[in-house]
Amino acid sequence: MHNLIRFLRRYYFIFLFLLLEGFSIYIISQNSYYQGSAITAFANNISGKFNTQTYNITHYFNLASSNEALVKENAMLRAKIQSSYVKYEKKVFQIQDTVYKQQFEYEDAKVIQKTINKRNNYFMLNKGKINGVKKNMAVICPNGIVGVVVNVTNNFSLVMSVLHQDSRPNVKNTRTKITGTLIWEGGSYAKGKIIDIPSSIPLKKGDTITTSGFSQDFPEGIMIGTIESFTKDSGNGFYNVTVKFSTDYNKLEYVYIVKSFFKEEQVELTKDIKNE
Amino acid sequence: MSKSIFLGIFHFIVIALIQILILNGLQLFGYINPLLYIWFILLLPISSPAWLVLLSCFTMGFVVDVFEGQMGFHAAVTVFMGFIRPLFIKVFFENKDSDLDTRVTIAEMGITRFLPFAFIFVFVHHFLYFTFEIFSLKEFFFTLLRIFLSTIATTLLIVVMDLMFIKSKK
C-alpha cells in the first residue's frame, strides 16, 4: 500500500496527463461531427448564450451592410409581387389557388457564432427545435446559399457551412443549364470550386452559378456566385472551375432556414434505392 | 504567491477573450489563423506545480473549444503541450536561473533566448493542432503552409503583446 502511494506520487504527472488527454480525445470522438451528445448540448447552450450577448454588441457595427442586403432583397421581392406587373392581355385567365401548392417556407434567423478560417466551418443560429428547425434543412441568405443544418438543440441550431469538406450541393450554370458539384478546398472563404462539369461544354467567365434544385435541400435558383476562372483538366475531361461566392461569409448576419414541405416524401421515394 | 495566482487568472481571462472575440473571427490571406491562447501557457512561472500546469492547459483548451464549437481539439493539443513543457524548460534554463518565479518573457529571458523558445513551442502546438484538425494527409502541403504562416503570426503577436504589456518583476 505504501509502495502504491509512493508509486502514484512519483508518477502522478504522467497519470494526470493521460487522464486529461484521454478525456479530451473522448470528447472529440463523441462529437467529431457534432452528433448531439450531452456535452455538446451543454456547451452549445453556454456558448450560445454568451454568443448572443456578444452578438448584441457587435451587430451594431454591421447594421449598414445588413440593411443594404435587406433593402436589396426587399426590392427584388417587391418586383415579384403581382401589383408590380402590368397586364398586357385583355383576356384574363382565372387561376385557382389550388393549382399551386406551397413547397418551401422560410424561417428567418440570426447568426450568433461562426467560423470561416477552419478547414471545416460551421454557423450557429438562434432558432432551434421550438421554432420547427430540423436536421438537414437548407439555410440561405439574401445573397446566396449558406449551408445545411446538422444539429439542433431546443433554442439553437448548427449549420454546416458550404465552407466544409463534406458540403457538396448540386449547382448549375444558369446560361447553359449544365450542372456540377460545388466543393470547398480550404483557403480563402471568398472562393469555391465546381467539379463534374464536362469540358465539352463551353463556359464563360462571369457566368452565374445557382443551385440546381436537384438536391432535395435547396430550392432551385439560389445564387452561389460567378465563375472567376476555369481550366480544362486534360486528365479526366472535366473543367476545373473557380467560383467567386456572392456571399461574404465573414459578414453573414441574417439568414433564412428553408423548410421544404415535400422533402420527406422525396426522401421516402428514394429510400429503397439507397438500401440496395 | 496569491498575487501570482490572481495575475494568472487575469491573464487567463484576457487572453481567452482576445482569442474568442477577435482572433477566432479572423482569416488572413486564407491561411493564417493565430492561436494566441498558447501564450498563457508560456506565461506560467516555470516553478508552477506540474498538475496546475496540466489543469490550466486543459481549462484553456476546453474554453476555446467550447466557444469555437469544435469540441476537444484545442484541449487535447494544449494538454500535450503542458506535458512536454518541462522538457523545454530543461533545455532553455540550465539551473542558472535560481529565481524560481521566472517566467518565459522577453524581460526575464532576453529576446535571444525567448524567441527560439516561443517559436519552437508555438510551432509544435500549431503543427499538432492543424494536422489534428484536418486529420488526414490529403492536403498535406496546404496544411504545412498554414502551420508555418500561423506559427509566425502567433509568435509575432506574442512578442508584440509581451513588449507592450509584460513588465519585469525585478
Q: Please give chain A's pLDDT, 276 residues, in tens.
A: 777 788 777 788 888 888 888 888 887 776 655 444 555 666 666 777 777 777 777 777 777 777 777 877 777 776 666 655 554 444 444 444 555 566 677 888 888 888 887 888 888 888 888 888 888 888 988 888 889 998 888 888 889 999 888 888 888 888 888 888 898 887 788 888 888 888 888 888 888 888 887 776 788 888 889 998 888 877 777 888 899 998 888 888 888 888 877 777 777 787 777 655
Question: Whole-angstrom Cα distance, residue A118 to residue B27?
Answer: 9
B73 contacts on A by Cβ (under 8 Å)? 28
In this structure, the answer to whether residues A49 and A139 fall within a common structural domain is: yes
How many Cβ atoms from other residues are within 10 Å of residue B121's Cβ? Answer: 24
- Closest partner residue to A28 (CB to CB) among B31, B57, B73 is B73
Strand partners, A195: A181
pLDDT given for residue B135 in this prediction: 66
Q: Report residue B85: phi and psi, to 5°.
A: -60, -40
Total domain count, chain A: 2
Coil/strand/helix, residue A260: strand
- Interfacial residues of B (vs A; Cβ cutoff 8 Å): 21, 24-27, 29-31, 33, 50-51, 54-55, 57-58, 61-62, 65-73, 75-76, 79-80, 82-83, 133-134, 139, 142
Asked if A49 and A132 sit in the same domain, the reply is yes
Flag whether A178 is in a domain.
Answer: yes
Question: What is the CATH classification number for the domain harbouring A119?
Answer: 2.40.10.340
- The share of chain B scoring above pLDDT 90, in percent, equals 21
Indicate whether A134 belongs to any domain: yes
Rounded to whole angstroms, how far apart are CA atoms A240 and A237?
10
Domains in chain B: boundaries:
2-165
Per the domain annotation, does A226 fall within a domain?
yes
Residues A175 and A225 reside in one and the same domain: yes
Residues A141 and A53 in one domain: yes
Same domain as A204, residue A119: no
The answer to whether residue B134 scores a pLDDT higher than 50 is yes
- Mark yes or no for CB contact A158/B75 under 8 Å: no
What dotted CATH number matches B2-165?
A: 1.10.1760
Residue A26 lies in a domain: no
Closest of A186, A190, A183 to residue A166, by C-alpha: A183
With an 8 Å Cβ cutoff, are B58 and A30 in contact?
Answer: no
Same domain, A137 and A65: yes
pLDDT attached to residue A98: 53
CB atoms closer than 10 angstroms to residue B151: 24
Co-location of A122 and A258 in the same domain: yes
Identify whether the C-beta of residue B74 lies closer than 8 Å to the C-beta of residue A36: no
A181 and A218 both lie in a single domain: yes
Residues A114 and A205 in one domain: no
Helices (DSSP H) in chain B: which residue ranges? 2-17, 39-43, 50-68, 73-92, 106-109, 111-134, 140-165
Helix (H) or strand (E) segment spanning residue A241: strand A238-245
The pLDDT of residue B96 is: 59
- A142 located within any domain: yes
pLDDT attached to residue B60: 92
Q: Which residues pair with A171 in a beta bridge?
A: A180, A211
Q: Determine phi and psi for B6, rounding to 5 degrees.
A: -65, -40
Q: Cβ A117–B33 below 8 Å, yes or no?
A: yes
Which pLDDT score, from 0 to 100, does residue B80 have? 92
* Distance separating alpha carbons of residues B145 and B151, to the nearest angstrom: 10
| CATH code of residue A205 | 2.40.10.350
Our CA angle for A61, A64, A66, nearest 5°, is 95
Q: Are residues A127 and A62 in the same domain?
A: yes
Radius of gyration of chain B (CA): 16
Residue B58: predicted pLDDT: 92
Whether the pLDDT of residue B97 is over 70: the answer is: no
Q: Which one has a higher pLDDT value, B57 or B48?
A: B57
ipTM of the complex: 0.77
Residues A157 and A182 grouped into a single domain: no
Question: How many whole angstroms separate alpha carbon A66 and alpha carbon A115?
Answer: 19
Q: How far is CA A115 from CA A160, A268, B21, B33, B62, in A?
A: 10, 34, 11, 11, 17
Interatomic CA distance for residues B150 and B36, integer angstroms: 10
Q: At what angle do helices A2-31 and A38-58 cross, to 10 degrees?
A: 60
At B137 the pLDDT is 66
A125 shares its domain with A240? no
pLDDT at B136: 64
* A15 occurs within a structural domain: no
User: What was the pLDDT predicted at A92?
Assistant: 44
Give the amino acid at B26: L
Which residue in A has a C-alpha nearest to residue B34's C-alpha?
A117
Residue numbers of the domain that contains A219: 170-245
Closest CA to B129 of B63, B81, B97: B81
Structural domain contains residue A19 = no
